[in-house]
Structure 1
Amino acid sequence: MEDSELQAIRQARLRELQASAATGEGSNQMEETRQTLLAQILDNEARERLSRISMVKADKARAVEDLLIRMGQTGQLRGKVSESQLIDLLEQINQQQKPETKIRYSRRRYEEDSDEEYNL
């Protein structure tokens, strides 16, 4: 099957999913289709790693799945994503989302530390 045919099939399936999501029907069917698309995009080791990530951080795994599906639908992927490629993608995402660390000191005052005792 040619890439253009595969892309057309994926686009048609995406439109079907969006239509069924708009009407509120087929959430199980959407999840099954999602898993099917991920099976086409990821090799077995990468799928296993992503499922382990979803046990710990479900929202992060879902975001990575969404990104992979979009990349597959736009033709940015040239074959199945391996586990090492998935790890590289996760590292890139972690670099982008790394929060800035701030250290803040706050001194607590106790009654015996009061400046009033020293007439200051």
Structure 2
Amino acid sequence: MSDPAPDVNDQPNEDQINAQKDMLLKQLLSSEARLRLNNVKMVKPDLANMVENYLLGLASQGRSPSQITDDQLKQILLSAQQPKKDFKINRI
């Protein structure tokens, strides 16, 4: 007797997960904030994914405001970015 193979349809595929994620983000973000997040995703996909996961985490805990504006998203993006290292070159 072999173990029955797990049914592939039991688990949601990546497209379904992304569709649900997009639907939730549309509810959470204003249109300007959504546009900004999409622009960030093109340049820094890791940062955008981190912010998306943060926003979805807030929503799942019920701690998100009614709708996140562009200014609020800017603040979240600034706080999520790693501080840049400044290099000072002294010429002699």
Measure the CA separation in 1 of the matches of 2:41 and 2:85.
25
Instruction: Kindly indicate whether residue 34 of structure 2 is the aligned counterpart of residue 47 of structure 1.
Output: yes
Question: What residue number does 1:92 align with?
Answer: 79
Q: Give the share of equivalent positions with the same residue, in percent.
A: 29
- The runs of 4+ residues in structure 1 deviating greater than 3 Å are 99-104
Listed as ranges, the matches of 1:12-91 within 5 Å are 20=11, 25-91=12-78
1:54-97 deviation per Cα after TM superposition (whole angstroms, max 9, x unaligned): 01111110111000000111121120100000001111122xx2
- TM-score, scaled relative to structure 2: 0.76
Which entry has the higher C-alpha Rg, 1 or 2?
1
Superposition CA RMSD, Å: 2.1
Q: Which has the higher helix share?
A: 1
Structure 2 residue runs without a partner (length 5+): 1-9
The count of residues paired between Structure 1 and Structure 2 equals 81
Write the letter of the residue equivalent to 1:60. L
- TM-score, scaled relative to structure 1: 0.60
